[in-house]
Chains A and B, each alone.
Chain A
């Protein structure tokens, strides 16, 4: 035999790591169950995406909130047009055409959604423009025109609620922004709701927990019970290394799967979502945070479930209560993202990452929610409630970037702790 170059500690370690990870990856690839789990996950996400595509291609009824498109006196001039010129909406002998023969009646559809939101400021203050001129009319008193008493007639006052995280109080002078564009609002808010819902509940939670539940729980245990672990353990390699490298093989598959899945979702939602161009590049920040959160979640769950598998031969039974706990926690993040109990979960920290990413990419979402809930005094508009449910302000109260960094560190720590526990348990197991 030719004299071999003896490996150094580090090169020896990564050769072993690569060998076991590669072995694990190939082993998973040869198993039917792997493909079933991955395909079911993919199919579930595809079904949810179908609902989204349906929502994006549907026509939303444009609601005439202020009745400006109606013509109550049948003189051919819509009420809104008559308001504008101060003629009587109930008298067919009083209309703008009589004031000046050159004024022709408008198409009634012009008077639907004619007073849309024009709020581009996130800071609290004065927003809103009375686009259809029904606020600043001669027959209204100054106190009617400035009902919110900020000294500016025909505007809306936004006040940032000091207690309700990122929510606003809306104080409107009457007849301002009272007939918003329902379809534009619905498309935007449903789109954002979908990205958040499928990102948080679908990819990070469901995929993040079920793929490792079926694929990582048996990584060590199956080899222990079938006896094939003997081959690996008869080699000069520590059991904690075997534990880690087996998981690396699982991660290689899981991480690639998540990346492909999220990329597909991002492409579909980017093309289908409402935008000025052909693609919503602005969402990529949110998808990045979904990617990061799901990778971290699957990493921690993989370690955790593999450890449970080592602990007991029916590790799945131990994993199910944990999955139920995490489900409870994920629902908690939707309603109370700052609840202290979330610190004792994996998913709470992963959700923080998505929430923080969304807060960075879509800074105007809290405003969009309030806008839709108010809806010109006729809310909530379609999509506002959904967005309100799936949007959460990152719960740590330390800013978006800080939240991402801290959550990543906590999740890494959780993964390391599970590895340590799993290694110790594995080392103490006698293998028949």
Chain B
């Protein structure tokens, strides 16, 4: 979707307009757009400052202007102290922030971020989300794609859910979430004593059912997946259980989307 918008792909049907211009044919509207691609590969041999200022010059800035702007945006994303280090030595979060900085350098009206949180550690996620929120406060239009709903929730309330090119949900996140809450989630735990574990967890208000496929495995049914997930580690540690695996067997995007798509049909 974003690739169509950025003229990387040609629409197979219909048409794409960016500020009223077909981006496949004319790159002019990119003067007002900042794009953060999802690809992880970057020019590792450059320093963050070189990277940002080189691409700033493609907006027609002089070398001097580009450098000033690059320093400004690197400061904005909190990388000014490592601006002269090579990108190859950066962590994922720092790389992601460098990419965001490169997209902001022309002071764009529209900022498009393709999976900006993918593969980042929690600290990096928080920093990146703060940057995105800052941008929103500055009055910029920010488009973010992600398949992690929880994180989107922390950034914005307006979401669009697309599935296989079809619009399945559009609007306020809370309204969509209410529908989502009607699907039960399952959490799977593997530990030394599944029954003892179940006793301690059943007391939690979000849990409405447990089952034991075998001696060591415990399946928990919940309507409030997010809350339970957040409190689960505390429950386990407080009651001195040994747990080796925690995962969500049916929490894949596909089933969620199928549910939504079915619900809207």
Those of A1-18 within 8 Å (CB) of chain B:
1, 4, 6-7, 11-12, 15-16, 18
Q: Determine whether B117 belongs to the interface, using a CB cutoff of 8 Å to chain A.
A: no
Contact B57 A19 (CB under 8 A): yes
Chain B, residues 17-34, CB within 8 Å of chain A (1/0): the string is: 000000000011111011
Q: How far is the CB of A211 from chain B (nearest CB, A)?
A: 21
Residues in chain B near residue A235, CB distance under 8 A: 27, 30, 55, 58-59
Q: Is B258 an interface residue (CB 8 A)?
A: no
Asked whether, in the complex, the Cβ of A236 is within 8 Å of the Cβ of B39, the reply is: no
B41 contacts across to A, CB distance below 8 A? 226-228
- Interface size class of chain B, counting residues whose CB lies under 8 Å from the partner chain: 35 or more
Q: Are B28 and A236 in touch, CB under 8 angstroms?
A: yes
Q: Is the CB of A236 within 8 A of B8?
A: no
B221 at the interface (CB under 8 A from A): no
Chain A residues with a Cβ closer than 8 Å to the other chain, count: 32
B97 CB–A CB distance under 8 Å: no
| A227 cross-chain contacts in B, Cβ below 8 A | 37, 39-41
B6 to chain A: which residues have CB within 8 Å?
Answer: 230, 233-234
Contact B60 A431 (CB under 8 A): no
Which residues of chain A come closer than 8 Å to B54, judged between CB atoms? Answer: 19, 22-23
Query: With an 8 A cutoff between CB atoms, is B236 at the interface?
Result: no
* Closest Cβ neighbor of B9 among chain A residues: A430
Q: Which of A4, A18, A20 has the most CB of B within 10 A?
A: A4
What are the residues of chain B within 8 A of A233 when measuring CB–CB?
A: 6-8, 27
Instruction: Determine the chain B residues whose CB is within 8 A of the CB of A228 once the complex forms.
Output: 39, 41-43
Query: A15-B62, A233-B6, A239-B27 given. 15 additional CB < 8 A pairs?
Result: A16-B58, A19-B58, A26-B46, A226-B39, A228-B39, A228-B41, A228-B42, A230-B37, A231-B42, A234-B33, A234-B103, A235-B27, A235-B59, A236-B31, A237-B30
Residues of A within 8 A of B (CB): 1, 4, 6-7, 11-12, 15-16, 18-20, 22-23, 26-27, 30, 226-228, 230-239, 430-432
Interface residue ranges, B against A (CB under 8 Å): 3, 6-10, 27-31, 33-35, 37, 39-43, 45-46, 54-55, 57-62, 65-66, 69, 72, 99, 102-103, 107
7 contacts between A and B (CB under 8 A): A7-B60, A19-B57, A20-B58, A26-B45, A231-B42, A234-B37, A236-B58
